[in-house]
């Protein structure tokens, strides 16, 4: 299977028992449909390097998974693990311009990254949203004037 940077996710904090099938089933249990999983192996030991790449249908699926699943419990994990997801870059840094953050306070405890992103995605420069554990959130924007609208 060919993995594409735009349609792949990086997933970290894998335990040794987490194989391709386990990862596919975990994503499926969360309502996602991965096309493939590539567990990265340690070049000397041959064992899992603790991370993998997950191939999804399109860029929108990647964005949705990063926003909706990141930090949620991985179904079937024992001991319990949380999804640790990021955009796949395969060693290449994405071209990044300036970023600006917006502080969002007084969030209800049930608000997650996906829900916060839904509020800010109406701004074309919104690059993501993150709720931190103390119930404050930040949204990354590529244009400074968007933060004042």
User: Within this chain, do residues 79 and 18 fall inside the same structural domain, yes or no?
Assistant: yes
Predicted TM-score (pTM) of this structure: 0.63
The reported pLDDT for the residue numbered 44 is: 79
Predicted confidence (pLDDT) at residue 134 exceeds the cutoff of 80: no
Same domain, 36 and 104: no
CA 22 to chain centre: 18
Distance CA 36, CA 139 (A): 30
Strand blocks (E) in 23-148: 36-41, 48-55, 85-87, 100-104, 126-131, 137-141
Length of the chain: 149
Q: Are residues 106 and 80 in the same domain?
A: no
Asked whether the predicted pLDDT for residue 94 surpasses 70, the reply is: no
- CATH number of the domain at 19, please: 3.30.70.330
Are residues 130 and 105 part of one domain? Answer: yes
> What digits encode the pLDDT tens for the residues 32-83?
999 999 998 887 788 888 999 999 999 999 999 998 999 899 999 999 999 9
Q: Can you give the residue range of the structural domain that contains 105?
A: 100-148
Taking residue 145's Cβ as centre, other Cβ atoms within 10 Å add up to: 10
């Amino acid at each position: 299977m060919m993995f594409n940077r735009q349609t792949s996710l990086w997933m970290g904090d894998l335990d040794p028992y987490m194989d391709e099938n386990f990862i596919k089933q975990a994503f499926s249990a969360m309502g996602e449909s991965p096309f493939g999983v590539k567990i990265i192996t340690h070049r000397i030991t041959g064992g899992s390097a603790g991370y993998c790449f997950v191939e999804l249908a399109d860029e929108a699926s990647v964005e949705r998974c990063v926003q909706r699943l990141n930090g949620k419990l991985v179904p079937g994990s024992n001991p319990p693990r949380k999804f640790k997801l990021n955009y796949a870059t395969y060693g290449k840094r994405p071209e990044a311009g300036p970023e600006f953050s917006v502080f969002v306070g007084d969030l209800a405890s049930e608000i997650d990254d996906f829900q916060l992103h839904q509020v800010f995605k109406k701004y074309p420069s919104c690059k993501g949203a993150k709720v931190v554990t103390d119930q404050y959130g930040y949204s990354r924007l590529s244009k400074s004037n968007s933060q004042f609208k």
